[in-house]
Structure 1
Amino acid sequence: MNKKPAKESSVKNRRKFISPLFHVQTKDEDEKHLSNIVIKNVKTTGVLNLHGKHLMSVPDRLFTIYNDGHVDLDFNSACKDDDLWWNVKPLTNLDLSSNVLTEIPSQIGMFQDLTTLNLQDNSLTTLPVEITNLTKLTKLILNRNKINQLPKDIDKLLDLRILSVSYNCIGELPDTLVDLVMLEKLDLSNNAIAELPCGVGFLVRLQEFDVSNNKLTELPPDIVNIRSLRILNINHNSIKHLSESLGELRKLQIFHAQHNDIEEIPDFTGCECIQEIYLGNNFIKEIPEDLCENLQHLKIWELRDNQISFLPKEIVKLVHLTKLDLTNNELTEIPAAIGLLPHLQSFKLDGNKLKQIRPDIIQTGTQRILQFLREKLNEDDLNSMTTNFANTPIDACVFPDRYKMRNGNILNLTMKNLTLVPEEVFEEAKEARVSVVDLCKNKLTQFPSGLIMLSNYITELNLSTNQLKEVPDAVASLAKLKFLDLSKNMLSDLPENLKSMTNLRELVLFNNSSSEMQYQFFTLLPRFQKMPNCVYGMIGLEILMLNDNSLEEINMEGLKNLNRLATLNLSNNNIGFVPPELGDMTHLKCLKIKGNPFRQPRYAILEQGTESILAYLRDKIVR
């Protein structure tokens, strides 16, 4: 009896249709990516995108796109507008990134109308000399290749605005690089560069300069001539000394210098715009007292992993500081007046030998540390510090002039001891199209009505640490508002019509149990016993801070409307029960609920972070 042949496996039959994961394309397969349809689109738009096509070589057809056709002179035949030679656009944007190219043909020089050339994420070791013929280039991206040198005639690319060659093998830069005087962004990071060419100061239009992760031991003195520089990154080098003239970089806003051998903090006196300084992992031993007086706009100061043993009390003059990182230094004492800094949200002290602050207080976080420091201040200290912060009488403050507001689009009246703000100030702010208003750390008892004048412009409003007892309905007219800080006031609710503020991204309401006397000891008054109903209509919310209030419950029906909510802080309230349905809010990236009287989840779960909390709650849901 003959047996029937076994049926061939369907899996085996499908194998021949499955391409290998790391298939190496042939020359013919590379050419197929330039189909007639693609070529027609190139002629119509002037843009060719061959990103991520696994190209082993640049298709030859690329170089014949504009000479493989003919002009139709038959006036009796119809011809589409796109086919007419006078409607054809030259190639201006070429993207060959994320392929497997090892070389670029010399014919690339024929595309002299190119303004953008992207060759990043390939295996290039050299660049053809003809690339310098592309004199209209404004953007050249060469990141993540194996290039060991730039063309000597790179100065021919006179219109270049952006040059990015990070993650290559460049050890030496051509002297002609400094002749690219139109450069606005230069990224040389993650190479093997030991020295920057003399004359780098000629790049006077440069706004972003990144030379991090190289082998530099010093910066050329004339770098201070780059007066337009906003961001300077020299991380991960071997630089020991920084120029004493660094303060001449008047427009510098962000300075990265982590992981070097720096022993002294440079003089930033002239850097009037600087907002962020990163000096972690160096050998800095002290903070100059006079430096703190000249960094009025500083927001972030990272000094971790140094050898600092003393913190000058003048640091409290950095009234705009939001983050101060002193982790792993040699501090034994902290000035108590730091507790009065109005904007400080992150204060890190781990890894020091502090005697005045217990380790358990440090582990509790920034707000507990600041509270502890404030409790150490006596009345004389408070009066002295208040005088230093606001040395003008109540309501006699010198308000910012129109020029300053127009120049920065900011109305800043922080810590001016104000009980009201004149209408004229807001009228001038309206003319200056002010978008950011900061009135924190004053003595305002009523919401400034003049703010409504800025409804067409204002996007950020900070009224924290005042004595507000209510918010008027008119605030809903600030429809463009994205950030609203009403923390540390005396609020118990918000108007229902604020639910119309759907553009709001961050709402800060923590610690609304303030006192009549600013900074001094006070009797806490219970506020916000429930989350304001208007919050559930703010569907654009991404951050909601309601910690340190008197909330008694979590309204899940309302919270379900906030589909974009990523950060929710409900710590230190009176919440006795956490609904399991909260676990379904998987879009939450940060959930803080410590310091409440509920029994579940237990502390061990809370310590494991947001994902563990949400997973625990989901397991408790009865489906």
Structure 2
Amino acid sequence: MSRFRKANKVDSLAGFRTEKTEPTVPSGLLKTARKSGQLNLSGRGLTEVPQSVYRLNTDTPEEAQQDISFGGSDRWWEQTDLTKLLLSSNQLSHLSDDIRLLPGLITLDLHDNQLRSLPAALGEEQQLQQLHLSHNQLSSLPVELFTLKNLHCLTLQQNLLENLPEELGQLQSLTELDVSNNQLSALPSSIGCLTKLQKVNLSHNKLQSLPDSMHHLTDVKVLECSNNQLSDIPASLSGMVSLQQLYLRHNKLCRLPPLPGTALKELYVGNNQIELLEREQLVSFTLISLLELRDNKIRTLPEQFPVLAELTRLDLTNNDISVLPASLSLLPNLKVLLLEGNPLRGIRRDLLSKGTKEVLTYLRGRIQEEPEETEENSNVMMLPSLARVNTHNIKSLKVLEFSGKQADVIPEELFDAAANQDIITVNFSRNALNSTPSRLLELHSSVSDLNLGFNKLTSCSDLCKLLQLTHIDLRNNQLSDLPPEIKNLTKLRSVILNYNRFKSFPQVLYEVLSLETVLLGNNQVCGVDPGRLIKLVHLTTLDLSNNDLLNIPPELGLCTSLRCLSLEGNPFRTPRAAIVAKGTDAVLEYLRSRIPA
């Protein structure tokens, strides 16, 4: 009896022992992870990462230690290394050095936790390509993190970072960097070493300037710098030649950023302190489609507003503009003009409420009513043809303009005035030219933007010698083909050929690898070769609307660089109109699904 009581006494203590229990992961999840290489533990309330996760590929699974037989699909010894580990939306406050036991990780998602620091062992994850650390409490980063040579995507938004180390420049495979919503007051100059970056988000910090080294980021297409304390943008930023979207809202800018010769399509500079808007600042935005200038202090617009051929939306809301220049009505593609909150004079409020089309019609009427200037102007030279040479535009803005004259020749005096002036922009649109002016070749070393739209051209061979061209506008002419020598224009990014007589996609354009925009709408094109088009790796905009395409080859879906594909108004039956209406991504996805296996 005494022996029983003694044994019973020993067992009774077991109820009072406290053993540390680690969070468990369902064995089924671990088993699946060994086969797929992916483990999703997001939103499970974890306060630490279980050891069973770290040791997933090192320990023998529990079921293998039991006396059971395995079928062909259950052979645990044929497991796959864990490559994707999702731990987001938990309550993790730290990450163990045991993370080194998962050397095959390619994706590690730790966003939305309570991490205050990261282990040095993270630097041993040399296969890592995506690291998501947003919405944590990180105030610093281990230097070992910057040894991850294969890292493509690093997201650090919504943390407590006050600076980034110079070692950042070692992440030379990085294509996407997001450090928004931190406490950064400056960026390391080494950011210029990240030459593969395509998307950068620096918004909601305390940045007062951007480093000059950013001009080395020639592949960046999207740069987000809103909600900082920027008072100026360095001119060197013009070296970011691929930049298409630039966000600078809610800063302290007093002028537009100097970005000549860029591929910029969208510029957002609302909520700044811009007072002056000069023509010289705008004329370089040759591809701009959206320009947001709302909530600034702009008082006047340039009297001769540049003809920005691609501009579709201009937001001037809440400024101090009192007069609208009639030249706004000459913007050929402007669809949305926002003017609310300006003290406009000379234009009725009821007219403003009718929308953009009515306002532009009114301004166009004012052009016809305005009398010719009679006062002497030192910047204007009168020609016998009654044309006007604006020497200010030529000398200061490097713009040679002779537009809307319905002339069949360009006056010699105009070229004489432009001699030795390094002209960048030439606008001879809306005339009656049958051929390209031979004296254009005198500008071959400098002209990059050429507008010959709305003429009667049947050929354009001479243009092939203007080797600096980046933008050509040949819309509304009588062209049916392009000369093979166009391939010599290795800097050409945009070509507009709408409303011509093309019956096929110009063969030479397949060879211009720098192209980003091709507009061929309203022609008679009956086919396109996706096998050759896919080689245009920079092509983002392709307009084939209102042509004679009877079928769309499924392989066109492999042109994944396209962001805007216009196919409306063609007689093809597939894809259906309902799919086309959903936009470019839906069309490309549909076409890919039709590719034969």
TM-score, normalised to structure 2, is 0.67
Q: Which residue of 1 aligns with 2:75?
A: 83
- Once the two structures are superposed, residues 27-61 of structure 1 have per-residue CA deviations (whole angstroms, 9 ceiling, x without a partner) of 86830xx3332222212121111122222321221
Distance 1:477 1:405, change over 3 A: farther
CA contact (8 A) 2:245 2:264 kept: yes
Identify the match of residue 323 of structure 1 among 313, 324, 330.
313
Identify the match of residue 140 of structure 1 among 131, 134, 154.
131
Residue 347 of structure 2 is aligned to residue 357 of structure 1:
yes
Give the superposition deviation at 1:324.
0.7
Identify the match of residue 110 of structure 1 among 89, 101, 119.
101
What amino acid is aligned across from residue 285 of structure 1 in structure 2? E
Residue 510 of structure 2 is aligned to residue 448 of structure 1:
no
1:276-355 paired onto structure 2 within 5 Å: 276-355=266-345
Distance 1:77 1:43, change over 3 A: closer
1:162-173 paired onto structure 2 within 5 Å: 162-173=153-164
Q: Which residue of 2 aligns with 1:489?
A: none
Q: Which residue of 2 aligns with 1:555?
A: none
Once superposed, what is the RMSD of the aligned Cα atoms? 3.8
Cα distance in 2 for residues equivalent to 1:314 and 1:114: 58
Give the superposition deviation at 1:240.
0.7
Distance 1:54 1:406, change over 3 A: farther
What amino acid is aligned across from residue 198 of structure 2 in structure 1? Q
Q: Which residue of 2 aligns with 1:530?
A: none
Cα distance in 2 for residues equivalent to 1:426 and 1:324: 33
CA contact (8 A) 2:233 2:258 kept: no
Identify the match of residue 150 of structure 1 among 131, 141, 146.
141
Cα distance in 1 for residues equivalent to 2:143 and 2:582: 50
Q: Which residue of 1 aligns with 2:192?
A: 201
Distance 1:377 1:228, change over 3 A: same
CA contact (8 A) 1:455 1:477 kept: no
Give the superposition deviation at 1:254.
1.0
Q: Which residue of 2 aligns with 1:98?
A: 89
Cα distance in 2 for residues equivalent to 1:425 and 1:483: 14
Q: Which residue of 2 aligns with 1:621?
A: none
CA contact (8 A) 1:426 1:454 kept: no
CA contact (8 A) 1:286 1:308 kept: yes
CA contact (8 A) 1:207 1:228 kept: yes
Cα distance in 1 for residues equivalent to 2:300 and 2:459: 34
What amino acid is aligned across from residue 351 of structure 1 in structure 2? G
Identify the match of residue 356 of structure 2 among 366, 371, 375.
366
What is the total number of aligned residue pairs between the two structures? 452
Cα distance in 1 for residues equivalent to 2:459 and 2:351: 37
CA contact (8 A) 1:186 1:208 kept: yes
Distance 1:448 1:239, change over 3 A: closer
Residue 270 of structure 2 is aligned to residue 258 of structure 1:
no
Give the match's secondary structure for 1:378: helix
Q: Which residue of 2 aligns with 1:30?
A: 23
What amino acid is aligned across from residue 23 of structure 2 in structure 1? D
Identical aligned residues as a percent: 28
What amino acid is aligned across from residue 318 of structure 1 in structure 2? L
What amino acid is aligned across from residue 438 of structure 1 in structure 2? L
1:509-548 paired onto structure 2 within 5 Å: 538=578, 541-542=581-582
Distance 1:356 1:161, change over 3 A: same
What amino acid is aligned across from residue 271 of structure 2 in structure 1? N
Q: Which stretch has the larger CA shift, 295-304 or 125-134? A: 125-134
CA contact (8 A) 1:429 1:454 kept: no
Distance 1:200 1:409, change over 3 A: closer
Identify the match of residue 186 of structure 1 among 164, 177, 180.
177
Distance 1:462 1:69, change over 3 A: closer
CA contact (8 A) 1:455 1:478 kept: no
Following TM superposition, where does structure 1 have runs of at least 4 consecutive aligned residues deviating by more than 6 angstroms?
A: 70-73, 379-384, 404-410, 430-436, 455-459, 479-482
Cα distance in 1 for residues equivalent to 2:176 and 2:339: 35
Distance 1:309 1:485, change over 3 A: farther
1:482-497 paired onto structure 2 within 5 Å: 483=566
Give the superposition deviation at 1:375.
2.3
CA contact (8 A) 1:276 1:300 kept: yes
Cα distance in 2 for residues equivalent to 1:221 and 1:53: 45
Identify the match of residue 59 of structure 1 among 36, 50, 53.
50
Distance 1:112 1:374, change over 3 A: same
What amino acid is aligned across from residue 286 of structure 2 in structure 1? Q
Identify the match of residue 225 of structure 1 among 190, 203, 216.
216
- Once the two structures are superposed, residues 71-121 of structure 1 have per-residue CA deviations (whole angstroms, 9 ceiling, x without a partner) of 999xx9776365263x32211111111222222222112211111110011
Cα distance in 1 for residues equivalent to 2:242 and 2:99: 38
CA contact (8 A) 2:304 2:325 kept: no
CA contact (8 A) 2:172 2:193 kept: yes
Cα distance in 2 for residues equivalent to 1:108 and 1:483: 48
Cα distance in 2 for residues equivalent to 1:397 and 1:362: 43
Q: 5+ unaligned residues in a row in structure 2: which ranges?
A: 1-18, 373-386, 388-401, 406-426, 435-455, 461-473, 475-481, 535-540, 557-564, 588-597
What amino acid is aligned across from residue 497 of structure 2 in structure 1? L
Cα distance in 1 for residues equivalent to 2:371 and 2:132: 56
Give the match's secondary structure for 1:30: coil
CA contact (8 A) 1:333 1:355 kept: yes
Cα distance in 1 for residues equivalent to 2:64 and 2:295: 72
Give the match's secondary structure for 2:200: strand
Q: Which stretch has the larger CA shift, 476-485 or 366-375? A: 476-485
What amino acid is aligned across from residue 83 of structure 1 in structure 2? R
CA contact (8 A) 2:238 2:260 kept: yes
- Once the two structures are superposed, residues 250-282 of structure 1 have per-residue CA deviations (whole angstroms, 9 ceiling, x without a partner) of 1111111110001122211131x1111111111
- Once the two structures are superposed, residues 177-213 of structure 1 have per-residue CA deviations (whole angstroms, 9 ceiling, x without a partner) of 1221221111000011111123221112211111100
Cα distance in 1 for residues equivalent to 2:104 and 2:404: 62
Cα distance in 2 for residues equivalent to 1:305 and 1:540: 36
- Once the two structures are superposed, residues 526-561 of structure 1 have per-residue CA deviations (whole angstroms, 9 ceiling, x without a partner) of xxxxxxxxxxxx476359xxxxxxxxxxxxxxxxxx
Give the superposition deviation at 1:283.
1.0
1:452-601 paired onto structure 2 within 5 Å: 452-454=526-528, 461=543, 474=548, 477=551, 483=566, 500=573, 502-504=575-577, 538=578, 541-542=581-582
Cα distance in 2 for residues equivalent to 1:214 and 1:540: 40
Cα distance in 1 for residues equivalent to 2:187 and 2:294: 28
- Once the two structures are superposed, residues 228-255 of structure 1 have per-residue CA deviations (whole angstroms, 9 ceiling, x without a partner) of 2221111001111111222111111111
Give the superposition deviation at 1:215.
0.7
Give the superposition deviation at 1:290.
2.2
Q: Which residue of 2 aligns with 1:159?
A: 150
- Once the two structures are superposed, residues 500-531 of structure 1 have per-residue CA deviations (whole angstroms, 9 ceiling, x without a partner) of 35444xxxxxxxxxxxxxxxxxxxxxxxxxxx
Give the superposition deviation at 1:461.
3.9
CA contact (8 A) 2:167 2:190 kept: no
Cα distance in 1 for residues equivalent to 2:371 and 2:71: 86
Give the match's secondary structure for 2:235: coil
CA contact (8 A) 2:57 2:102 kept: no
CA contact (8 A) 1:405 1:429 kept: no
Q: Which residue of 2 aligns with 1:438?
A: 519
Distance 1:152 1:78, change over 3 A: closer
CA contact (8 A) 2:495 2:518 kept: yes
Q: Which residue of 2 aligns with 1:395?
A: 457
Q: Which residue of 1 aligns with 2:414?
A: none
Residue 497 of structure 2 is aligned to residue 413 of structure 1:
yes
TM-score, normalised to structure 1, is 0.65
Cα distance in 2 for residues equivalent to 1:105 and 1:192: 26
Cα distance in 1 for residues equivalent to 2:38 and 2:22: 21
Give the superposition deviation at 1:330.
1.4
Distance 1:68 1:109, change over 3 A: closer
Distance 1:338 1:234, change over 3 A: same
